[in-house]
Every structure is written in C-alpha cells, then in structure tokens.
Amino acid sequence: MKVRCVYNTGEALRVYENSPQKKNEFRRFGSSENSQFNEITIGKEYLVMGIIVFETYQAYLIDDQGFISACPCQLFEVVNGEINTNWFFRIIDKDEDIYPFVQAIFGYPELCFNKKSYVNLIVEKDEESQRIYFRCKIEQEKELAK
C-alpha cells in the first residue's frame, strides 16, 4: 500500500474532531491545531508498513529518511491500495501495556507476532526492530514491483 502526504499539521486534523476545540487543546489525535508532523513531507509518497488502530484513530506505519513513525491516516491520500499478501492482524490484549492506547495492529509478520514490536519500534527505537522493519520494507517493495 502506498500513500501520499497531503497535510502535516494538526490544523488539518481539526475537521476530523468530534467537537470544537481550543487552538492549543490536545484531543483525538494527540495533537493541537499548532502541532507539526515534521517527520513527513507534503507531496512525498510512502510505503505503508502497517496500520496501527489507536483508541481514537488509525495511523499508517511509515518512515522518512530512516525515521519510523505512526502518523494519522487523515494526513494522507491512498495512491495504491494494494495490501501486501504477507500481512497479518492482531488484536491487542487488555493486559498489554499499550492497551487501550493501541487497539489492534495490521502489518508485516514480526509487527503482529511479537507483542513488544510496537513499543520496541516506535517508543524504544530498538535497533534490531528497526532492522527487521527495513528488511520487511525491502521485501514489500520487491513484491510491489512485480
């Protein structure tokens, strides 16, 4: 799946809020109107490596210049909706540390099978988790090129 960044500010997410908010108030997306998503570039296309289902929104797992992040899907438009045939889905157990913040994960096998994968990749920035991510990305790029 490929997406193109069309927005990179919290202001663009305002239309998706369920109720009005103050300019500096953090709400549904964990951002305010003044928030900047500097890890993504408007107009740039990204290969989606996973979809993270948070409690209040969904995010694409992407990377830009080696920095891996989970960004709200409302900041993107889908360029190619083809999903990798090797993706899996996992519901987060209520006894896991990331529950209820993260509800479910959809993506490459290691992202779904390892219960610590999200924390290791996004929070801890674990080198081995990043190597696995980029190895899987190369495999997905090859599959899309077929």
pTM, to two decimals: 0.90
CA proximity to 8, closest of 36, 29, 45, 34: 36
Provide the number of structural domains found in the chain: 1
Domain residue limits at 119: 2-145
Q: What is the pLDDT along the chain (146 residues), one digit of tens a residue?
A: 999 999 998 888 877 766 555 566 656 676 767 778 889 999 999 999 999 999 989 999 999 999 999 999 999 999 999 888 889 999 999 999 999 999 999 999 999 999 999 999 999 999 999 999 999 999 999 988 87
Nearest to 59 by CA among 21, 97, 107: 107
